[in-house]
A and B are shown apart, each in its own frame.
Chain A
Amino acid sequence: MVEQARSPAAPRFVMRRAYRTFVPFNVAIALPAQLTVLTVVLVPTLIVAWLSLTDWQPTQGIPWYQAEFVWFWNYYDLFHDARFVAAVVRTLLVVTGCMTVEFLLAMGLALLFLDDWAWRKIAVSIIIMPMMIVPVDAANAFFMLFNDRGPINYLISIIIGRPFEFAWLADPNWALLPIMLSEIWQWTPLMFLLVLTGLMNLPENQIRAAYVLGASRTRIFLRVMLPLLMPVIIIALLVRSIETFKIFDPVYILTRGGPGAATETISMFMYNGAFVYFRIGYIAAAALMILIVVVAICFTLSRPLKRHHR
């Protein structure tokens, strides 16, 4: 892991150590970061791996390292646990749903802001405000908005002309909507900024040329701009997908995963399992499974990214 590799071809100034140190200098200064990550991430992962093979619960009254081994039964139970499978499926649903809506809205908005007009800068500043709200407070705001006697229901009842007092957060079928809306509201501005930056960095010549040659706007957009924008879009979608996958704050504040388990995402499932029912061994198995899957996906995706970055 720690070597001093030299890039082969290009001539560079060679940073030579002027003195001998016990540990190579470049390693030494990277050590604090490395050690922090090791302690806080690697060691817990090892503990998770151990725990996932046991059925430890604090209510057993024994320390965790003395817990009885159940080997792979936790994994077996997880595969057959309808609640866990539902949580995984639900999380994927939330991610795809939020990504699609965020992307479409962001793209649409960014196109509106492409040209320069009078109060553009102020408009951008206001539009990116949701990003800069503490997620917990945003979730609380949405809790109040979606109250069955709150402003959202009031506006809906004005539009449809009769009283509408729907209890969004208590309905197992619809409770996911406020959660997704909270996430979309908060992070579309980020996608918007990323896409806008990408659009502003597009080479103007190609677009001008296409316009002059008579191509329609839609064609220019689809055939010229979009392909050039692909790297930015992919990065934006990737970054946001990863963050949305981990979604926790809105779910916790708005529904706690309820009613029942109707809005449980993976993070909420693991939180409930570990900190409400204290089935630590079982949840450790779930955690390890998720970690492995996520890391595997990222490895497969990271190679093209690395190539792009070099």
Chain B
Amino acid sequence: MTQYRHSRRSFLKQTALGTTALAIAPSLVMGTRAALAAKLSLENVHVEAAQRAKELTGGKPVTLTILEPSGSLGNIKPVADKWKADTGIDIQYVEVPLDQINQKVLLEAVSKSGSFDIALPASFGIPDLVTSGILVNLDELAEKYEPEGYQKDYLYTIANYYKGSLYGYETDGDAYVMFYLKDWLDDPEENKKFADKHGYKLKVPDTWEELDAMMAFFHRPDKNRFGGALYRTQFFIAWEWWVRFHAKGHYPFDDDMKPQINSDAGVKALEELIAASKFLYPGARSNGLFENFEAFGQGDKFCNIGWGGTQKFLNSNKSKIKGKMAYGPMPGGIVKGELLKTPYFNWGWNYVVSSVSKQPEIAYLFTLYACSPTMSTMAVRDVDGYFDPFRQVHYKDPQIIQNYSAPFLAVHEQAMRDSIPDLYLRGQGEYFDVLRVNVQAADVGEKKPKEALDEVASKWETITRRMGKQSQVVQWRFLKSNYPQGIRGRLV
């Protein structure tokens, strides 16, 4: 009896195994083929992404909600409308003021209300959002859908990743660019005077020393001419210091997350920044973005610092200097005898998917769609939006060339390629807040530069400790390894 049962059981087991094997095997083969087939093709990624999304809806009406910063609708709506036409999926918008969007996404991590599927936070806030758990880790979905070479013609992708995983696609080209008045640079008399004084002719400056010298040279307030329209308000002053510091050839932290910003290089960078403040126009300490555009557009200040948005204004009919500008990347410094240029990517917007969303896969497909070469070009074309060019194809589009002007785009593209990233660490807001407050205190004379930077360094150590040093070190080393190739080896 037992023998019979045993053998029957084993027979059944064997047949079961056999049938399952037979069942699995083809599906394994089919599965891999299907998986391979699922990866979209690069040329038609937008068409195929739309197709896939449509399939996923299964015929049911689906709505995606996007949390976007006020004013960016010009970039998103054309793409979203086309998406609706291609897939039948409706897009709804939730607008929040642009300085609040990161906080709203982080608030969602606490409140989990599910009020948006996709969001457009500023890139520097991504680490905080990742650690709070509100962003979907897109590695799996990218593995499934992202075509080969999708990110290849992206000029800046550092913000897309945190500790090696993908969390969102960059959708804005916020590389810092310098603007100069061409007439002043080319003027032969000025050139002679300057060359006599400094030994080289006027040109788009390569280093901060040259820029500071030129600003000092052109600063003639009695004749209503000013050296620079740079910013000395809190947010901007920290950014300028950040570039000046990197241009001296150093990372802000060493490999163990010990701050290096209060080294001699850091102090010197701050001292030079403070010295340059003398040659700025009177509104430098109080003007915001649009006041700066208008002020520089008057044509009586030598240089300005800004982004693509600045150029869109200066290249429009509202500015008096349309077509009269020369452009340059961020000035660099001489490190070990050679010129080191350190363009800087600050701000930026990333499309991310909320972990509370009920349809993360469809949401991901939308972000893939929106950042595809064809669709993103359509988005960047609109003048009334924040998105600046970020893919190589953008620079060839006639409308975009008309918006920004070709000489600007040439400099912008180069800057995007070699940009050093922002401080993509958890607690970025806190790190930079301490930096901001102290750099400005030094600038107005409340603190000595060394004192200010020492305070920043000690506060940074406290913040790192609070955030968990081990975890921060992992991300910092990952970030370091992502610095542009030409710069990585030259910073210490």
Contact = CB atoms under 8 A, between A and B. Distances in A.
Interface of A: 55, 58-61, 64, 148, 167, 170-171, 258-261, 275-278, 280
B67 to A, nearest CB: 16
B432 to A, nearest CB: 11
B233 A58 contact: no
Closest 4 CB pairs of A and B: A170-B286, A167-B286, A58-B132, A59-B131
B233 A170 contact: yes
A20 B142 CA distance: 68
Given A170-B285, A260-B437, A59 B110 contact: no
30 contacts: A55-B466, A58-B106, A58-B109, A58-B110, A58-B132, A59-B106, A59-B131, A59-B132, A59-B426, A59-B427, A59-B467, A60-B131, A60-B132, A61-B131, A61-B132, A167-B283, A167-B287, A170-B233, A170-B285, A170-B287, A258-B234, A260-B436, A275-B103, A275-B107, A277-B429, A277-B430, A277-B433, A278-B103, A278-B106, A280-B110
Contacts of A278: 103, 106, 128, 132
Interface of B: 103, 106-107, 109-110, 128, 131-133, 233-234, 283, 285-287, 426-427, 429-430, 433, 436-437, 440, 466-467
B440 A260 contact: yes
B344 to A, nearest CB: 23
Contacts of B233: 170, 259
* Most interface-central of A59, A60, A61, A260 (chain B CB within 10 A): A59
Contact of A171 (B106, B132, B286, B427): B286
A292 B286 CA distance: 39
Nearest to B103: A275
Contacts of B440: 260
Contacts of B133: 61
B131 A260 contact: no
Nearest to B440: A260
A260 B286 CA distance: 12
Contacts of B467: 59
B426 to A, nearest CB: 6
Contacts of A260: 234, 436-437, 440
Contacts of B109: 58
A259 B446 CA distance: 15
Nearest to A167: B286
A261 B106 CA distance: 22
Contact of A259 (B128, B234, B430): B234
B465 to A, nearest CB: 11
A171 B430 CA distance: 23
Nearest to A256: B99
Nearest to A280: B110
Contacts of A261: 437
A261 B440 CA distance: 12
Contacts of B430: 277
Nearest to B291: A148
Contacts of A60: 131-132
A98 to B, nearest CB: 25
Contact of B286 (A61, A64, A148, A275): A148
Contacts of A276: 103, 429
Contacts of B128: 59, 278
Contacts of A148: 286
A60 B134 CA distance: 12
Given A60-B132, A280-B110, 7 more contacts: A58-B110, A59-B131, A59-B467, A60-B131, A167-B283, A278-B106, A278-B132
